[in-house]
Structure 1
């Protein structure tokens, strides 16, 4: 019996499909409701809570998924300072590369002073972290570890990134260059997060911090939300470079660990 024919694989496929459909439906409904709430999208987009709601419904409707979640390691734990610091440094590196390219290519950097925004920056920051957590409960705390019970980290990250990118269905209205750049951007971010979270039980604090900082930096430095394909392509290439670097670092660390284990002498008894 092949992996695809196995009952466990079919169960996982059903859980993933149910989650993705529900996350999309909830996002659509929340997007329709948002104008009536009066909450500006620059503060928070209610669609970000679609993945979180989808996880709750899947756990309720499909009791079998609870064991899968426990196996995947959804249980919360405290974030390590070093891991959070690494996430922040990667975000800084991505934007240094993107802004450097803008400067070298002669494109004007359209920086927005955070105190010139229509709403207080502290409210936006808090809301961005809350919204990022709403998404990451679904993508990195549920879907990613669930897929990792049947796939490797890299393949799981790519699959999650593709699904995550397409889930932002509005990007397709901006043309093929913008949409393809955004999907590459999402896949690369997913690969970076997959490496950051590899082998670790904490997921939500690091994933939320990384996601929120990316959103905030793009809000202040780029106008890609207005359909600027060049800005989106620049961010995609910068995150691609960061993702490749993250994979190289993992490869080097793995190689060192293997050599260390091979060179260990037995204890004297």
Structure 2
């Protein structure tokens, strides 16, 4: 257990360290955050560094495109966007500042490559390494929750919005982590499924949260709405595979 905990701790420290370095590099190079966010590459680079430090850690990229995986990819791309659209509708009903301006679609194309790169870079670290590694010691459900906590805490730039905002954001990251964990079952941790899920989140935030991402009411609503499918999954999932089994990473 000490060996396991140590490697998780080293990975998290590497993620935060690389994030700080890449954040500084982004400022030095004057790179526009709208087009590319270098810190989003921190999880994958942290894993690569970890694999150099601990040579027995391995990673196999899974890009299977059989019918089952394609179905999961489509679902992973559609569902998060629909859930965030529901948040948008609720936000409008509550008179939150949520407005889709007519220029959003034209503004998407220049930033889309950066969104894709960031989604893949994050998910190789979070759901490609950390989630399966947690499952060596914990149940699938707990592993998804733990991954969601670290994923949320990593967004240090949001700390300035206060404790209530961060708790709301963590409610979202933990709940959405449970949802993507459920989607990944039976896919051998297909990185495309996780990346498309993450990309869909980015697109949803881009279209529905324009200029209001730091609004506490919107983030709390977002967290609550995401809790609903997470709870449904938690109560309906196969108890043997989702709650009880401590499994090896799927191969």
Into which bin does the TM-score normalised by the smaller protein fall?
0.7 to 0.9
State the alpha-carbon separation in 2 of the partners of residues 108 and 186 from structure 1. 22
Q: Is the contact between residue 224 and residue 232 of structure 1 (CA under 8 Å) also seen in structure 2?
A: no
1:134 Cα shift? 0.6
State the alpha-carbon separation in 2 of the partners of residues 45 and 138 from structure 1. 16
Q: Is the contact between residue 127 and residue 189 of structure 2 (CA under 8 Å) also seen in structure 1?
A: no
Q: Residue 233 of structure 1 is aligned with which of 205, 220, 224?
A: 220
- Cα RMSD, aligned residues only: 2.1
**TM-score scaled to structure 2, two decimals?**
0.87
State how many pairs are aligned.
237
Quote the residue 2:111 is aligned against.
124
Residues 161-209 of structure 1: CA distance to partner in whole angstroms, max 9, x if unpaired? 1111111112111111211111111111111111111232143101111
Larger Rg: 1
State the alpha-carbon separation in 2 of the partners of residues 133 and 184 from structure 1. 22
Quote the residue 1:262 is aligned against.
none
1:216 Cα shift? 1.6
Quote the residue 1:18 is aligned against.
10
Residues 33-86 of structure 1: CA distance to partner in whole angstroms, max 9, x if unpaired? 1022232112221111111111111101111223xx5xxxx4423242100121
> Greater RCO between the two (CA within 8 Å, min separation 6)?
2
Q: Which runs of 5+ in 1 are unaligned?
A: 1-8, 255-269
Q: Residue 114 of structure 1 is aligned with which of 96, 104, 128?
A: 104
Q: Which runs of 5+ in 2 are unaligned?
A: 242-251
**TM-score scaled to structure 1, two decimals?**
0.81
Q: Is the contact between residue 213 and residue 219 of structure 2 (CA under 8 Å) also seen in structure 1?
A: no
Matched, 1:203 2:195: no
Matched, 1:217 2:207: no
Quote the residue 1:171 is aligned against.
158
State the alpha-carbon separation in 2 of the partners of residues 31 and 48 from structure 1. 9
Residues 200-230 of structure 1: CA distance to partner in whole angstroms, max 9, x if unpaired? 2143101111111111211121146652111
State the alpha-carbon separation in 2 of the partners of residues 189 and 15 from structure 1. 25
Specify whether residues 183 and 209 from structure 1 end up closer, same or farther in structure 2 by C-alpha distance, changes over 3 A only: same
State the alpha-carbon separation in 2 of the partners of residues 228 and 137 from structure 1. 29
Quote the residue 2:234 is aligned against.
247
Specify whether residues 225 and 134 from structure 1 end up closer, same or farther in structure 2 by C-alpha distance, changes over 3 A only: farther
Q: Is the contact between residue 224 and residue 231 of structure 1 (CA under 8 Å) also seen in structure 2?
A: no
State the alpha-carbon separation in 2 of the partners of residues 91 and 129 from structure 1. 15
